[in-house]
Amino acid sequence: MTTPLRVLIVDDDFRVAGLHREIVADRPAYHALEPARTLADATAAVRAERPDLLLVDAYLPDGDGIAWVRETPVDAFVLSAATDAATVRRALRSGALGYLIKPFERRALVDTLDRYARFRNVLDEQRTVSQDEIDRAMAILRSGGDAPSVSRSATEQVILEALGDGASSASEIADRAGVSRATAQRHLAALAARGIVDVRLRYGTTGRPEHRYARRRA
């Protein structure tokens, strides 16, 4: 993805909305829109700004945020102080991709945003996808990459498929595989140690040489 993902925060507490907006604005893959404090304002913002992602409180002054998520055809996470299981399940039934209980640590929203960016990278709307890619996207969304339901061997297979025919950097491979750079590097190192992947160095004009990874030929 080259165009930043546009995020609309819907929260009636302007201090909380401002804090969340700052977190979004700090992430390089995102553009934070002006927060909406009511569902009426949020509806108008969706029409005018065409956001890619919504961060919505469960209860707004003029209505039910979860019901609004169900009616709005935009990816959304619910951010709420409500901790009862019924509210959480209703949010998920209504199409929310996830649920964060407020207040939460900054890292929690950062992780959610990073996972969503990788999820979108795998499920690029401009192409068709395989069942494996759908499964991988859902694993990324739920757990950030190496989900308990995805075995290490399965992750390594994804990394190998992402290598392609040429030599690539860990960042390039991570983007294709829909995993974090750290996860890609860890598995690439293990594959190299077993002789499955070759590691090459590419020297630029300045700075340290870049590691390039390629599938070892028989």
The CATH number that applies at residue 79 is 3.40.50.2300
Q: Which of 121, 140, 166 delimits the end of a domain? A: 121
Examine the domain organization and report whether 109 and 170 are in the same domain: no
142 found inside a domain: no
d(CA 56, CA 10): 5
Angle between helices 152-163 and 181-193 (to 10 degrees): 90
On whether residue 134 sits in a domain, the answer given is no
Shared domain check, 108 and 10: yes
pLDDT above 80 (res 151): no
Do 22 and 94 share a structural domain? yes
Residue 88 placed within a domain: yes
Handedness of CA 109, 106, 50, 175 (dihedral sign): negative
* Residue with the larger pLDDT of the pair 118 and 45: 45
Continuous H helices in the chain? 14-26, 39-49, 65-71, 85-93, 106-122, 131-143, 152-163, 170-177, 181-193
Output the pLDDT for position 152: 47
Neighbours of 105 (CB within 10 A): 8
The structure tokens listed for 37 are 């404090």
Neighbours of 92 (CB within 10 A): 14
The mean of the pLDDT values for the chain is 86
CA-wise closest residue to 73 among 47, 39, 34, 38: 47
Between 177 and 155, name the one with better pLDDT: 177
Asked if residue 175 and residue 106 are part of one domain, the reply reads: no
Q: Please say if the pLDDT value at position 1 is more than 50.
A: no
- pLDDT category of residue 204 using cuts at 50, 70 and 90: low
Q: Determine, yes or no, domain membership for 136.
A: no
H or E segment to which residue 59 belongs = strand 59-60
Residue 84 lies in a domain: yes
Domain boundary among 121, 140, 161: 121
160 and 206 belong to one structural domain: yes
In a domain, 23, yes or no: yes
Indicate if 108 and 13 belong to the same structural domain: yes
pLDDT digits (tens, 9 = 90+) for 96-148: 999 999 988 999 999 999 999 989 888 877 778 888 888 888 888 876 544 43
Q: How far is the C-alpha of 174 from the C-alpha of 135, rounded, in Å?
A: 16
Same-domain pairing of 102 and 33: yes
Predicted local distance difference test score (pLDDT) of residue 207? 60
pLDDT tens digit sequence for 56-67: 999 999 999 999
- Alpha-carbon span 67 to 142, nearest angstrom: 22
* 11: pLDDT strictly greater than 70: yes
Record the tokens describing residue 153, joined without a space: 């061997």
Encoding tokens for residue 30?
A: 């995102």
Residues 6+ apart with CB under 8 A from 21: 9, 32, 35
Q: Are residues 9 and 115 in the same domain?
A: yes
Question: Which CATH number is 195's domain given?
Answer: 1.10.10.10
Same domain, 117 and 21: yes
Domain hosting 170: range is 151-215
Residue 137, domain member (yes or no):
no
Is 117 within the bounds of a domain? yes
Residue 60: half-sphere exposure toward Cβ, Cα within 13 Å? 28
In the chain, the number of structural domains is: 2
Q: Tokens standing for 160? A: 């190998």
The model's pTM: 0.67
